[in-house]
Amino acid sequence: MQSPFKVLVGSAAVVAVGLGAGVFATSVSLAQPLTVKTISLQQAITVVKAAIAECSKDGSVISITVVDRDGEVRFSVRANGANPHNFELSRRKAYTARTFRSPSADFIAKSAPDKDLAGQRMLKDVIPLGGGIPIMIGEDAIGAVGISGAKGGQPREEVCARAGIAAIQAQLS
């Protein structure tokens, strides 16, 4: 009987050869940098203005953040008279929507205390509150927008966020 060690070494060699063949066989992508889409500053400004316009309809003054593909702030505005937490909250909603690629409101139920995913709430920067919407191109999240401080609360913040994204929808392809 072969020793486990020999079997392991043999397998590793096969895997290595296979991996090498695979890498070299795909000559098209060899040595190419990874290219990904992310939301531009101009797009982010357009999103913010459209979202603010929607939220202004009922007199809401919102704090709003657009994060890019990496979850980093691209553009953000703090509301006049915002509570101390609002601005940071808008960023965390956007980050949550971006990293899970779904509305931050979805994260509320998915990570509820009785769920298997409850532990996700211990991640840094995420927040189980509605008001964050991802900016998608197909299945690809290129950014997200988060809002805090709307008069109608989380549902209204989602409406404003979606209105913001709608303003650049034609460019999302």
Partner 1 sequence: MSRFTTVSAVLFGAALLSTAQAAPLMERNLNSQDAMAAYERMMSSCGPNLNNVTVVFVDRAGQVVLQARANGAALHNLDLARRKAYTGRTFRTKSIEWRDRTTGTQPAAGQRMLAEVIPLGGGSPIMIGEEVIGGVGVSGAQGGQPGDQACSDAGAAAVVAAAR
Contact 163, 135 (CB under 8 A): no
40 sits near partner 1 (criterion: CB under 8 A) = yes
Residues 90-129 that bind partner 1 (CB under 8 A): none
**Nearer of residues 7 and 41 to partner 1, judged by Cβ:** 41
Round to the nearest angstrom and report the end-to-end CA distance of the chain: 58
- Residue from 27, 29, 80, 173 touching partner 1 (CB under 8 A): that is 80
Contact 61, 80 (CB under 8 A): yes
**Nearer of residues 79 and 163 to partner 1, judged by Cβ:** 79
Residues in a beta bridge with 112 = none
79 sits near partner 1 (criterion: CB under 8 A) = yes
Question: What is 1-70 written as a DSSP string?
Answer: ---HHHHHHHHHHHHHHHHHHHHHH-TTTTTPPP------HHHHHHHHHHHHHHHHTTT---EEEEEETT
**Nearer of residues 39 and 161 to partner 1, judged by Cβ:** 39
Choose the binding region for partner 1 from 20-28, 66-74, 104-112, 114-122 (rule: CB under 8 A): 66-74
Contact 143, 69 (CB under 8 A): yes
60 sits near partner 1 (criterion: CB under 8 A) = no
- Residue from 17, 21, 42, 151 touching partner 1 (CB under 8 A): that is 42
74 sits near partner 1 (criterion: CB under 8 A) = yes
- Positions that interact with partner 1 (CB under 8 A): 40-42, 44-45, 68, 72-80, 87
